Amino acid sequence: MALRPILIIPEPLLRKASEPVTGIDADLRRLVDDMFETMYEAPGIGLAAIQIGVPRRVVTIDVARQEEPKAPQVFINPEITWASPEMSVYEEGCLSIPQYYEEVERPARVRVRYLDVDGKTQEIEAEGLLATCLQHEIDHLDGRLFIDHLSKLKRDRVMKKFSKVARRDGAA
């Protein structure tokens, strides 16, 4: 396992749609291990492969509370097959947009079809934090960020701030 650097906005790769995984092999399992190590170290509750520069449709999630045992979940080629009409609001953050949090409204429940690490098709119906996290991470796979769900004014402010930091750090 290895820690991988997490891409930060305005990195253009974060806006790229990820490619489907066509086979489960040792490289993919190593990627999943690296994603968990990176996600836990950050610390975060979800990570999409694109956030570490790998444009493949792989997501790692662990929404267990700190006092609970770890509950790692892997979603390969996840797709939302159903979303509830009821909505819920959660304060979201993102490892690719450090220390920025904002309330986002999303469907309260979703059904997601995906492959597990053995290549078997699975389906899960999620609600609460897991539903929000799945939607957030699947957005990443499609080149979307949680700030895309905010008003244009808020989104532009965040992008301007992080673009300024990126220019400053690039000039250092």
Q: Given 3-state DSSP classes, what are the helix, strand and coil percentages for the chain, each rounded to the nearest 5?
A: 35, 30, 35
Spell out where the chain has E strands: 46-48, 58-61, 73-83, 87-94, 97-107, 109-115, 121-127
* Rounded CA separation 155/23 (Å): 36
* Burial track 54-79 (b if 16+ CB lie within 10 A, e otherwise): bebbbbbbbbeeeeeeeeebbbbbbe
Considering only CA atoms, which of 133, 73, 145 is closest in space to residue 107?
133
Question: Which residues are part of the catalytic machinery?
Answer: 137
Burial of 151 (0-12, 13-18, 19+ CB in 10 A): exposed
What is the Cα–Cα distance from 147 to 165, expressed in whole angstroms? 17
